[in-house]
Structure 1
Amino acid sequence: MWIKLAFKLFAREFRRGELSIIFAAIALAVLTVFSLSSVTQRIGLNIEQKTSDFIAADRRLSSNHPIEPHILAKGAEFGLETAKMLFFDSMLFANEELILGSIKAVSPEYPLRGEVTLKDNLNGVPYEVRGGPKKGNVWLSEGLFYSLGLKVGDQVELGAGNFTVSKVLVNEPDAPFFSLAGNRRVLLSYDDIAATQAVQPGSRVFHRLLFAGQEQQLSDYYAWLKPQLKANQSWQGIKDRQSPLGNNLARAERFLLLAGLFGIMLAAVAMAVSAKRYCERQYDPVAMMKTLGGSRQVIRNIYLLHLSLVTGFSILVGLLLGFVLQHIGAAYLAKFMGTDLPVAGVRPWLLSVFIGIVCALMFSLKPLLDLFDIPPLRVLRRSLGDKLALSRIHIGLSLLTIFLLMWMFSEQLLTTLILFGSTLLVIAVLFGISRLVFSAGRKLGLSPGSSWSLAIATLQKRANANAVQLISFALAIKLMLFLVVLKNDMISDWQTQVPADAPNMFLINIGQSEVQPLDDFFEQNSITHEAFFPVFNARVDAVNGEELARRISRQEGEEKADSEREGVNREPNLTWLTELPEGNEITQGKWFDNNSQSDRIEVSVFDGWQERLDLELGDEISFLVNEQRFDAVVTSFRSVDWGTLKPNFVMILSPNMAGKVPVTYFSAAKLDNSHTKAISSLLQRYPTISMIDIKSRLEQAQSIIAQVSLAIGFVLAIVLISGALVLVSQVQASLAERMQEVVILRTLGARGRLIKLATLYEFLLLGAIAGLVAALVSDVTLLVIQQQLFDVDGKMHPYVWVLGPAVGAGFVALIGYFMVSNTMRQNTQGLLRKLG
């Protein structure tokens, strides 16, 4: 019997729009979470794929000695794509010319991520391919063609083998950003290694295995591999790379995560407000049903069924709209990115349904329980039951639910605590401000009949309701301001990392006798260039006599053993200088005193390596150059702006290092297309000099930044829409009370203009106060977020303190006035019918 009654009431309430608030709130929560999580997951996967191109795989295993065959075979068992690589140096001979080349032998599967750029001849048009050279063929970088006087189709001797030069090698996805191999790169088939006879027992070679697959597959494989890794083997991913790109990728992921958390918070606020308001509007019907003999059990069953129906229907609608929205957004972003975005997994679906159900239960169940306690006498005394409107249990459960949902979504306790704590701060500050402002309004002495007087009086009358509205408005404004400012800071920071005058070419392997001719060449062709730096490679072998441990994998979240001193698994490029280079700043210690008579060698270390190598001022670092060993004392630490792309060094030695080790020189220059012919002529005259063209690398990095910018813009749009809907739900919750006020004011003879202006001023005040508090709290929170989560020096944004109140007043006034304008246009008789 009660089921039939419940469905009749449900249909009636649905037609009247009584359930529209709670329905829209749940649908909003599901839509926001689904669209945000889907788009951010798809864009995150795409960005990871793009950045994986920089290592030609998702992960790579590097070793200084042969890797056991079963390690590669096991990767295939885990469902991973695999490829093999071997690096070694060997002599190339052709046309009576002999030169040392840097050989990279690859299996046919190379590269697993990204593409190799080739040309069919020196003047050909570059194009991209997947795979390596066929057996019996080699691909040579452009510098080797000039050095050996070759053309495509010629034969070249590599070690003991003869090979056909079939392509001009322009770029590899995993080409080193800076390497002394430079323009002497050779790509060889892995099957031709034996034919060269260059790899013998004791040869200095470098092995690498590439892996690509799903994250879970890679994690499972690494769990199996980790116990078998040798001290001189390392497992790496793109996030292990010390580069602006790796840092930017991590920042982008954290930003998209924050945006998702904000979406959940806004949806939760809308849900809590809407559920509470819906239940308040059912107080009178419940009191009437009890008066007519309805039992508590029947009433409970009716409204719980209503909640179940509206929850299920709103979740379905939210998923449908969210799917359409994320599909449209992803298609739009893919169009500008020039690539198809990967398909999101099942997590957004499960997460959205779970959050929709939790929101419905946690934010609606307690108001419903209060609803069942409404006394029958409320039909005579309308104030009975109003004390149930505010429940500490409901508030506590709502806050706990929001916190747990944010934690579950982010899986980062620190991030959740910072954002949740700032939200509680907004609530506390606004409650205090609302009491002060609304109580002070009585002492303003505004003249009777003015719109401002009426607005202040209305604010005083609804002090508690206005406090709740202020909190909702401020949260929405705070989150929007937070995302906008953070987005602007991030994009600005990324764009300044690659300045317009940044070099796009490195010249290396420059001999002492070639420095002056090159300097003259740059001057004659009006090419901007950097100084010529002496450079050599050295292995960081020990600190204070303690040998360094193998490198750990940051990609997998490893931590080194407490008993081991962390090391590095590459030989950094070192130099010596008399002056502190541009873009460097001493953070500890002091620069060299230029006392060349001292026998003590000093070293200035990049502060990023201070923690990595656990260094302190006065520590002694042991270096190994081939078989030559020398020690240097740490006298200073430096901050380095790597994003300028100008020559920088992790370690700089004191000037008295000059003459102790053999060196070459290198420089950097800014080239444009008009310099191509001149540079080609230069390389023909000086064939031992190598050129590293990083224009394609810069373009790839800038493309990734552009993708992140588009993603952030899309996420911001969703959050802005969510914030607007929160404001709409708050204003809609007070419509019935506002209709009563309009009826009373019109009955007392108030003019329509007076009522309209008073309503506008009321929303302006609420928005301005909410915007001011939101701006102050969001700026402080942003400072903490930047320092704790983004590892950058945070800064305050005074312009936000003005922008917040202005935007808040305009935004709230526009939406609020629009929502109630229809009410004010109706005549008194029509309003009375609706109230009845």
Structure 2
Amino acid sequence: MWVKLALKLFSRELRRGELNIILAAIALAVLTVFSLSSVTERIRLNIEQKSADFIAADRRLSSNHEFDPTLLEMAEQQGISTAQQMFFDSMLFANDELVLGSIKAVTEQYPLRGQMKLKDTLDAVPYELRAAPAQGEAWLSESLFYTLQLQVGDMVEIGAGHFKVSKVLVAEPDAPFFSLAGDKRVLINYQDIALTQAVQPGSRVFYRLLFSASEQQLTEYYQWLKPRLKENQNWQGIKDRQSPLGENLARSERFLLLAGLFGIMLAAVAMAVSAKRYCERQYDPVAMMKTLGGSRATIRNIFVLHLGLVTSVAVAVGLLCGYVLQDIGVSYLAKLMGAELPVSGVKPWLLAVSIGAVCALMFSLKPLLDLFDIPPLRVLRRNLGDTLALSRIHLALSISTIFALMWLFSGDIKTTGILFAATALVIAVLFLVARVIFKVSRQLGLSPGSSWSLAIATLQKRANANAVQLISFALAIKLMLFLVVLKNDLISDWQMSVPADAPNAFFININEPAVAAIGEEFKRANIKHEAFYPVFLGRVNALNGELFARRASLQEGEEVDSEAREGIGRELNLTWQADLPEGNEILEGQWFADSEELEVSVSKDAAERLELKLGDTLSFLVGTQTIDAKVSSIRKVNWDSLKPNFVMIFSPNLAGQFPVTYFTAAHLTEQDIPTISRLMQQHPTISMIDIKSRLEQAQSMIDQVSLAISFVLAIVLVSGALVLISQVQASLAERMQEMVILRTLGAKGRLIKLATLYEFLMLGGIAGMVAALVSDITLFVLQRQLFQLEGTFHPYVWLLGPAVGAMFVASIGYLLVARTMRQNTQNLLRSLA
């Protein structure tokens, strides 16, 4: 019986528009979450896929010895694409010239991600191709052509094998960001390894397996692989790369995460406001039902069914609109990026539906309970039940739900905590400001016929409701300011962290006699370059005699052994210096003194990771020799500058104990290419590493994140407007009553219009002022804690916040009540009845 009644009431309220507010709020929450999570997820996947190109796979497994064949067999059984690599050094001989080259043998499937950059002749235009050398062929880097005086089509001896030089190897997707191996690089087919006869028992050989598959397949494979890994085998993804590229990937994910959280917060605010307003509008119908004999259980069942129906309809509408919106947004972003964005999967769908359902339940629970407690006497005394309108329980429940939803979306308690604390600060400050302003305004003594007096009186009359409105307005404005600063300042700071004149090429394997000649050549060609640094390889092996733990995989979220001390897990480029390098700053200790004891200066990041303190003794493994050095200073290093920087720098008394080569860095332009080509021919032993493609990849990430935040900003502007609309509509009936009374007392239309405009201007200005203050403080914290940038304040936000807040709230608020103000008193009375 009650079901039939509930459906009839539901149909009537749909026609009357009673359910429009809550339906629109739930749909807004679902639309916002789906569109934002879908777009940000697709951009994140695109960034990860492009980043995976730089390791030529989704994952790779490295080893110093040959792999067990079962590793490949299991991967093939699970449908994972694989490729094999082997690295070794061998002598190359041609035209009576002999040189040591770095050989990489690959199978036909290489590369699994990314493309090779090749040239058909030395003077040809480079092109990209996903391919590997055929058997009997070799692809050589450009410097080897100069050293061996080769042309494409010539033959070259690699070890004992004869190979046809078929391509000029310009770049490989998985070439190291910086390596002492330089560009004396050779690519051959994996089946030709035996032909070279260079790999013999005891040879120094490095093996690598490449994998490409879905994240689920790779995760399942790693679970099988993990207990079978040897101590000297490393499982890696792009997040494991110790390079600016890996850091940029992590930073881009943080930006996208923030953007998604903003949408969650705004949708939740809209839902909380709308659910409360809907239940308030049902007070009179519920009182009437109870008067006519309706039981509490019947009323509860009716409105719970209404909530279920409206939630279902709203979720469907939100998903449909969100899909259309994200499709339009993704098409636009893909066009700007010049790339097809990958499909996001089911995560945005599940997230949107679950958050829509949770919002509907949690934000409606307390208002519904209040609704069921409305006394029947309300039909005679209309003020009964009004004390339920502002509930601390509802406020606490709403805040807890928003925190839970943010945490569910982000999975990051630190980021969620910072943004949630900022929101709580906004609420606390606004309640304090509202009470002070409303209290002080009573003592202003403005003239009775003034529009300002009427506006202030209206603010005083609805003090509690205005405090809630201020919070909603301020949150919407705060999110807008957040995104504006993210896009205009933080993205720019990230972009500018790599200066325009930063080095884009490294010159390595420079013998000491060639240092002066190369320096003179750079000076003559007016090429800006850094100092020449001596370099050798070494591994940090122990601290105060305690060995470090085996390296763990960051890609899989693996943690190191808690019982062992965490180390760096890779060989470092080491040097010694008499003077502190430019751009480095001593934080603790002092630079090297004239001491016979070997000392080492450590970067701040490494010192924190290794838990070092001044006076500790570090042990290094250099080749087969172990050396000990005392930590004498800790330095701050700007790695984003791309200038030659070192994790560890030894005191100059180490000079002469190990063979070294020198390296430097330079900023090259297109005009410098002839000079560099001539330099490579004159000094065939040196190698050049061109990192322009890496810098372009980092810039591509920045551009994609900037576009994503622009899209989110557009969504937030629309969502903020809808939140504002729902707040103003919540007070529309009360405004109509006031208007009837004022007109009855003889107030002119101009006075009422100006008073309404001034009221919204004050609400928007106050909300914008608080939002700007809290936003800038929160952004300062986020810069330092989340993005590892120097924290700065943004004074323009303090002016932008109140101005935008006042204009935004006043324009939308006034437009919403303008139609009501144009109605005559008779129509207003009829609408109220």
1:346 equivalent to 2:343? Answer no
SS in structure 1 of the partner of residue 36 of structure 2: helix
For 1:541 and 1:11, the matched residues in 2 are separated by 75
CA contact (8 A) 1:234 1:553 kept: yes
The aligned counterpart of 1:52 is 52
Amino acid at match of 1:741: E
Report the CA distance between 1:489 and its aligned residue: 4.0
For 1:286 and 1:560, the matched residues in 2 are separated by 61
The aligned counterpart of 2:14 is 14
Report the CA distance between 1:672 and its aligned residue: 1.2
The aligned counterpart of 1:105 is 105
The aligned counterpart of 1:231 is 231
SS in structure 2 of the partner of residue 443 of structure 1: coil
For 1:304 and 1:831, the matched residues in 2 are separated by 32
The aligned counterpart of 2:812 is 815
Spell out the pairing of 1:52-131 with structure 2 (5 A cutoff): 52-131=52-131
The aligned counterpart of 1:774 is 771
Report the CA distance between 1:231 and its aligned residue: 1.7
CA contact (8 A) 1:232 1:569 kept: no
Report the CA distance between 1:447 and its aligned residue: 1.2
The aligned counterpart of 1:679 is 676
Aligned with residue 688 of structure 1, among 666, 682, 685: 685
Amino acid at match of 1:645: L
CA contact (8 A) 2:551 2:567 kept: yes
The aligned counterpart of 2:361 is 361
1:192 equivalent to 2:192? Answer yes
The aligned counterpart of 1:159 is 159
The aligned counterpart of 2:561 is 561
- Assess, with a 3 A threshold, how the Cα gap between structure 1 residues 697 and 412 changes in structure 2: closer, same or farther: closer
For 1:251 and 1:721, the matched residues in 2 are separated by 27
The aligned counterpart of 2:751 is 754
Aligned with residue 784 of structure 2, among 784, 787, 793: 787
The aligned counterpart of 1:147 is 147
1:521 equivalent to 2:510? Answer no
The aligned counterpart of 1:372 is 372
1:616 equivalent to 2:613? Answer yes
CA contact (8 A) 1:438 1:459 kept: yes
For 1:502 and 1:791, the matched residues in 2 are separated by 20
CA contact (8 A) 1:50 1:704 kept: no
> What TM-score do the two structures reach when normalised by structure 1?
0.96
1:662 equivalent to 2:646? Answer no
Aligned with residue 706 of structure 1, among 699, 703, 708: 703
Per mean C-alpha deviation after superposition, the further-off stretch among 366-375 and 581-590 is: 366-375
CA contact (8 A) 1:550 1:568 kept: no
Amino acid at match of 1:443: Q
Spell out the pairing of 1:460-471 with structure 2 (5 A cutoff): 460-471=460-471
CA contact (8 A) 1:234 1:550 kept: no
SS in structure 1 of the partner of residue 513 of structure 2: helix
The aligned counterpart of 1:827 is 824
Per mean C-alpha deviation after superposition, the further-off stretch among 387-396 and 683-692 is: 387-396
SS in structure 2 of the partner of residue 529 of structure 1: coil
For 2:152 and 2:86, the matched residues in 1 are separated by 24
Report the CA distance between 1:5 and its aligned residue: 4.0
- Assess, with a 3 A threshold, how the Cα gap between structure 1 residues 298 and 545 changes in structure 2: closer, same or farther: closer
For 2:295 and 2:615, the matched residues in 1 are separated by 83
SS in structure 1 of the partner of residue 592 of structure 2: coil
Greater than 6 Å deviation, 4+ residue runs: none
Report the CA distance between 1:12 and its aligned residue: 2.8
Spell out the pairing of 1:363-512 with structure 2 (5 A cutoff): 363-512=363-512
Report the CA distance between 1:47 and its aligned residue: 0.8
Report the CA distance between 1:293 and its aligned residue: 4.3
Spell out the pairing of 1:254-293 with structure 2 (5 A cutoff): 254-293=254-293
Residues 342-363 of structure 1: per-residue CA shift (max 9 Å, x gap): 1111121112112212222222
Amino acid at match of 1:381: R
- Assess, with a 3 A threshold, how the Cα gap between structure 1 residues 414 and 696 changes in structure 2: closer, same or farther: closer
CA contact (8 A) 1:231 1:549 kept: no
CA contact (8 A) 1:590 1:635 kept: yes
Sequence identity of aligned pairs in percent? 72
Per mean C-alpha deviation after superposition, the further-off stretch among 722-731 and 408-417 is: 408-417
SS in structure 1 of the partner of residue 99 of structure 2: strand
CA contact (8 A) 2:761 2:810 kept: yes
Report the CA distance between 1:370 and its aligned residue: 2.3
SS in structure 2 of the partner of residue 92 of structure 1: strand
SS in structure 2 of the partner of residue 522 of structure 1: helix
Report the CA distance between 1:54 and its aligned residue: 1.5
SS in structure 1 of the partner of residue 109 of structure 2: coil
* Structure 1 unmatched ranges of 5 or more: none
For 2:40 and 2:612, the matched residues in 1 are separated by 39
For 1:618 and 1:722, the matched residues in 2 are separated by 57
Per mean C-alpha deviation after superposition, the further-off stretch among 549-558 and 59-68 is: 549-558
Report the CA distance between 1:835 and its aligned residue: 1.5
Report the CA distance between 1:169 and its aligned residue: 0.5
Report the CA distance between 1:7 and its aligned residue: 3.5
Report the CA distance between 1:298 and its aligned residue: 4.1
* Matched length: 833
For 1:346 and 1:26, the matched residues in 2 are separated by 20
For 1:239 and 1:588, the matched residues in 2 are separated by 30
For 2:551 and 2:360, the matched residues in 1 are separated by 49
- Assess, with a 3 A threshold, how the Cα gap between structure 1 residues 301 and 630 changes in structure 2: closer, same or farther: closer
CA contact (8 A) 2:116 2:129 kept: yes
Residues 375-415 of structure 1: per-residue CA shift (max 9 Å, x gap): 33322221112122223333332222222222222222333
Report the CA distance between 1:807 and its aligned residue: 2.0
CA contact (8 A) 2:91 2:101 kept: yes
Per mean C-alpha deviation after superposition, the further-off stretch among 287-296 and 302-311 is: 287-296
Amino acid at match of 1:97: E
Report the CA distance between 1:670 and its aligned residue: 1.4
Amino acid at match of 1:764: L
Amino acid at match of 1:801: W
Residues 787-818 of structure 1: per-residue CA shift (max 9 Å, x gap): 33334443333332332222222221122112
CA contact (8 A) 2:112 2:210 kept: yes
Q: For the aligned residues, what is the CA RMSD?
A: 1.9
CA contact (8 A) 2:248 2:701 kept: no
SS in structure 2 of the partner of residue 528 of structure 1: coil
> What TM-score do the two structures reach when normalised by structure 2?
0.97
For 2:298 and 2:540, the matched residues in 1 are separated by 78
For 2:363 and 2:618, the matched residues in 1 are separated by 61
Report the CA distance between 1:3 and its aligned residue: 4.0
For 1:264 and 1:183, the matched residues in 2 are separated by 49
* Structure 2 unmatched ranges of 5 or more: none
The aligned counterpart of 2:647 is 650
CA contact (8 A) 1:182 1:691 kept: yes
- Assess, with a 3 A threshold, how the Cα gap between structure 1 residues 630 and 279 changes in structure 2: closer, same or farther: closer
The aligned counterpart of 1:604 is 601
For 1:627 and 1:384, the matched residues in 2 are separated by 87
For 1:379 and 1:777, the matched residues in 2 are separated by 44
The aligned counterpart of 1:796 is 793
For 1:608 and 1:500, the matched residues in 2 are separated by 25
- Assess, with a 3 A threshold, how the Cα gap between structure 1 residues 763 and 103 changes in structure 2: closer, same or farther: same
The aligned counterpart of 1:538 is 538
Report the CA distance between 1:48 and its aligned residue: 0.7
The aligned counterpart of 2:583 is 583
SS in structure 1 of the partner of residue 685 of structure 2: coil
Report the CA distance between 1:84 and its aligned residue: 1.0
The aligned counterpart of 1:220 is 220
CA contact (8 A) 2:567 2:609 kept: yes
For 2:232 and 2:299, the matched residues in 1 are separated by 72
